[in-house]
Amino acid sequence: MNIAEAILHITKLAEGETATEEETARFRHWFLREASEAELQQLASAHEAVLMEVQEPVYDNKEIVNNIYSRLTAYYQAEVSAMEESNRQETIIRRIRKRNYWWAAAASLLVLGGSAIWLIRQQQSKPAVMVTRTVLEPGSNKAILTLANGQQIILDKQANGNIAVPGGITIIKADSGAIAYMRTGNNVQYHTLSTPRGGQFQLTLPDGSTVWLNSASSIRYPTAFTGSERRVEMTGEGYFEVAPDAAKPFTVEAGRLDVHVLGTGFNIMAYADENAIRTTLVSGSVKVEAGDATTVLTPGIQASLAPEEQTFRTSRPDLSEVLAWKNGQFRFNRTGIKNIMRQVARWYDVDIRYEGNVDNIELQGILSRKVTASALLETLEATGEVHFRIEGDHISVIPGPKK
């Protein structure tokens, strides 16, 4: 075990997860016999950052470090005692990365709490603190509501409370970046909620179903669901929690895809610049259709359909990665740099350029969506796999370490 693996281990424990006996034994051996004083100081500082979500821990104050280390030791020993008493072998759930680490470039990525970013390199005696360059602020709750008559309401500039619109419809805007339909009347109209690049928003539909929209996305829906079904249209990416109503099945139309549900939670990604439309089921059951292609999903399964394909491909993805955007995170699991940069472009409202071949670059780790683009890019640069040049709202991606 090395310092980076050790930090992953104690981070997992601090977040309430369990560890296998093998991993615990490896950590105990390293902790008691192999770790240098500098590595123990680094481990203690990282653990304190996890627990306290501090922005700038103090490394040079020996008394503070010793206090942190003492708490870490007590915490670890309590975890080991609990495991020995239960004498159970539990499957490890790695929240940061799987065992096939991506540090071929001798670096690993770890984000600890809020916007505190740490880079832990192998063979380093101290963590490197990020230095901010050009600031590109992260996205926020922003959306435009387009009414049936074409009128547009910029929701992030709208005061909280009731919003009266034509047709006897009342919408309420909450301070959390969400709107809900409180009274819709009998006059059915169609509204469209759209998020720009750098925006996200939450919507409660007239039937009580809730939709989270990611950046550069939209949903078109009626102000009242009449007839035998509930149907909405969306582009981009959204997460749905559908209110049960067996008499009125819920259908999401996303490009050439129809997703039919009764009551469930699922994610649809249907961006035009992605290589496939992906529907991922979290709970319940859905039927996905595209022309003659049909498949029924069970929880944890994802159906993908590429533009040139006529049948669905199914897989079991990491749900935490699929839903990371909804939970305020970027999660990369051996993710190609172009995929990563598409997410960056949407969230920070920037344009991406490539200088050189970056097709073989894959990264793994977790980042907060609350950090600036500059901080995010500097963390990615530290892997030595890629570096960036920021010019206004343009980011150039260049393979290899920064020279």
Measure the CA–CA gap between 136 and 8, rounded to whole angstroms: 29
Measure the CA–CA gap between 259 and 242, rounded to whole angstroms: 12
Q: How many CB atoms lie within 10 A of CB 8?
A: 22
Q: What is the pLDDT of residue 307?
A: 87
Share of residues in the chain with pLDDT > 70 (%): 70
147 and 61 inside one domain: no
Range of the domain at 384: 330-399
145 and 277 inside one domain: yes
pLDDT digits (tens, 9 = 90+) for 202-258: 999 999 999 999 999 999 999 999 888 999 999 999 999 999 988 899 999 999 999
Q: What is the pLDDT of residue 204?
A: 94
Measure the CA–CA gap between 43 and 266, rounded to whole angstroms: 38
Q: In this structure, which amino acid lies at residue 188?
A: V
Q: Is residue 369 part of a domain?
A: yes
Q: How many CB atoms lie within 10 A of CB 171?
A: 23
Quick one: average pLDDT of 50-75? 43
Q: Is residue 134 part of a domain?
A: no
Q: Is residue 135 part of a domain?
A: no
112 and 207 inside one domain: no
171 and 283 inside one domain: yes
47 and 176 inside one domain: no
Q: Is residue 243 part of a domain?
A: yes
Measure the CA–CA gap between 190 and 52, rounded to whole angstroms: 47
Strands 277-283 and 286-290: what pairing?
A: unpaired
Closest CA relative to residue 20, chosen from 113, 87, 105: 87
- For the chain, the three-class secondary structure string (H helix, E strand, C coil) is CCHHHHHHHHHHHHCCCCCCHHHHHHHHHHHHHHCCHHHHHHHHHHHHHHHHCCCCCCCCCHHHHHHHHHHHHHHHHHHHHHHHHHCCCCCCCCCCCCCCCCHHHCEEEEECCCCCEEEEECCCCCCEECCCCCCCCCCEECCEEECCCCCEEEHHHCCCEEEEECCCEEEEEECCCEEEEEECCCCCCEEEEEECCCEEEEEECCCCCEEEECCCEEEEEECCCCCCCEEEEEEEEEEEECCCCCCCCEEEEECCEEEEECCCEEEEEECCCCCCEEEEEEECCEEEEECCEEEEECCCCEEEECCCCCCCEEECCCHHHHCCCCCCEEEEEEEEHHHHHHHHHHHHCCEEEECCCCCCCEEEEEEECCCCHHHHHHHHHCCCCEEEEEECCEEEEEECCCC
Q: Which residues pair with 260 in a beta bridge?
A: 251, 287
Q: In this structure, which amino acid lies at residue 178?
A: A
190 and 298 inside one domain: yes
- Out of 75, 94, 129, a domain closes at 129
Using an 8 Å Cβ cutoff, are 209 and 241 in contact? yes
298 and 157 inside one domain: yes
Q: What is the pLDDT of residue 403?
A: 72
| Long-range contacts formed by 290-295: CB under 8 A, 24+ apart | 290/256, 290/257, 290/258, 291/256
Q: What is the pLDDT of residue 13?
A: 65
Count of domains observed in the chain:
3
What CATH number is given to the structural domain containing 338?
A: 3.55.50.30
Q: What is the pLDDT of residue 57?
A: 37
- Out of 129, 163, 186, a domain closes at 129
300 and 177 inside one domain: yes
Q: In this structure, which amino acid lies at residue 281?
A: L
Q: Is the pLDDT of residue 69 over 50?
A: no
Q: Is residue 55 part of a domain?
A: yes
pTM over cut 0.85: no
14 and 67 inside one domain: yes
What CATH number is given to the structural domain containing 190?
A: 2.60.120.1440
171 and 28 inside one domain: no
List the end-to-end C-alpha distance of the chain, in Å, as a whole number: 31
- Out of 129, 150, 178, a domain closes at 129
Q: Which residues pair with 204 in a beta bridge?
A: 180, 210
- Rounded to 10 degrees, the C-alpha dihedral 149/150/156/161 comes to 0
Q: Is the pLDDT of residue 53 over 90?
A: no
Q: Is residue 265 part of a domain?
A: yes
197 and 290 inside one domain: yes
- Rounded to 10 degrees, the C-alpha dihedral 226/228/230/233 comes to -100
16-20, 110-114, 327-331: range with lowest mean pLDDT? 110-114
Q: What is the pLDDT of residue 175?
A: 73
Q: Is residue 187 part of a domain?
A: yes
pLDDT digits (tens, 9 = 90+) for 161-216: 888 888 888 899 987 779 998 866 677 899 999 999 999 999 999 999 999 999 99
Measure the CA–CA gap between 200 and 177, rounded to whole angstroms: 8
189 and 276 inside one domain: yes
18-22, 46-50, 101-105, 134-138: range with lowest mean pLDDT? 101-105
33-37, 107-111, 186-190: range with lowest mean pLDDT? 107-111
